[in-house]
Amino acid sequence: MDRVISGVDQIYHLAAVVGVKYVVEDPLNGIYTNVKGTEVVLEKAYKYWKRTVIASSSEVYGKSGNVPWSEDADRVLGPTTVARWSYAMSKAIDEHFAFAYAAKGLPVSIVRYFNSYGPRLDPKGYGSVIAKFITQARLGQPLTIFGDGQQTRCFTYVTDTVQGTILAGTVPEAAGQVFNIGADRETRSSTWPGSSAT
Q: Residue 168 belongs to what H/E stretch?
A: helix 158-170
Dihedral angle sign, alpha carbons of residues 144, 147, 150, 155: negative
| Beta carbons within 10 angstroms of residue 78's beta carbon | 11
Task: Write out the DSSP string of 9-48.
Answer: SEEEE-----SHHHHHH-HHHHHHHHHHHHHHHHHHHHHH
Provide the pLDDT for residue 93.
97
Q: Which of 87, 101, 113, 126 is catalytic?
A: 87
Provide the pLDDT for residue 142.
86
Provide the pLDDT for residue 33.
95
Q: Are 50 and 5 in contact (CB under 8 A)?
A: yes
Q: What is the CATH number of domain 2-115+155-184?
A: 3.40.50.720
- Cα 78 off chain centre by: 18
Provide the pLDDT for residue 123.
66
Provide the pLDDT for residue 56.
96
Provide the pLDDT for residue 183.
83
87 is catalytic: yes
Domain ranges of the chain: 2-115+155-184
Provide the pLDDT for residue 151.
73
pLDDT mean for each 10 residues of the chain (198 residues)? 96 88 89 96 98 95 83 91 93 97 98 87 66 82 79 84 97 97 76 49
Provide the pLDDT for residue 197.
45
Pairing between β-strand 10-13 and β-strand 51-57 as defined by DSSP bridges? parallel
Provide the pLDDT for residue 98.
98
